């Protein structure tokens, strides 16, 4: 049986930005709300409220963020799959960010209503 998850929609549109791998973390990235900063050998990726991202920065905007209401144990399986499966099976793209205590699901604003409907139909609760 698939896990049933409670999701809370976060306010405002979000953007996913890409900076160079050697770039410093910019001051505009920090602030209240959900922020994720990930560095790899190839890039510095920043997910944050869209209104913080300068227009000169490469980014993809108009994302809606949902927090999976955890925390979930590291050995608890199927949580993320239960949430992304109904979206993927219905052709909706997602962006997922995991943290120590939980996960954040982002969908394009144009897919927001369809995503909400598919999540509810899969038995999840939207707060």
pLDDT in tens, the chain (127 residues): 678 999 999 999 999 999 999 999 999 999 999 999 999 999 999 999 999 999 999 999 999 999 999 777 777 788 899 999 999 999 999 999 998 888 999 999 999 999 999 999 999 999 9
Q: What is d(CA 96, CA 53) in angstroms, rounded to the nearest whole number?
A: 19
Q: Which domains does the chain have, with CATH numbers?
A: 6-126 (3.30.2130.10)
Reference 60, options 107, 99, 28; nearest CA is 107
16-47 burial by CB neighbour count: b if 16+ within 10 A, else e? bbebeeeeeebeebeeeebebeeeeeebbbbb
Is 49 within 8 Å of 33 (Cβ atoms)? Answer: yes
Beta bridge partners of 126: 7
């Amino acid at each position: 049986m698939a896990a049933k998850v409670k999701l809370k929609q976060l306010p405002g549109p979000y953007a996913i930005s890409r900076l160079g791998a050697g770039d410093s973390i910019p001051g505009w990235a920090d602030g209240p709300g959900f922020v994720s900063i990930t560095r790899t050998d190839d890039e510095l990726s920043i997910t944050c409220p869209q209104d913080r991202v300068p227009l000169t920065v490469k980014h993809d905007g108009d994302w809606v963020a949902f927090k999976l209401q955890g925390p979930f144990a590291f050995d608890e399986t199927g949580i993320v799959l239960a949430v992304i499966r109904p979206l993927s099976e219905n052709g909706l793209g997602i962006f997922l960010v995991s943290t120590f205590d939980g996960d954040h699901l982002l969908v394009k604003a144009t897919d927001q209503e369809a995503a909400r409907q598919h999540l509810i139909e899969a038995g999840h609760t939207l707060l």
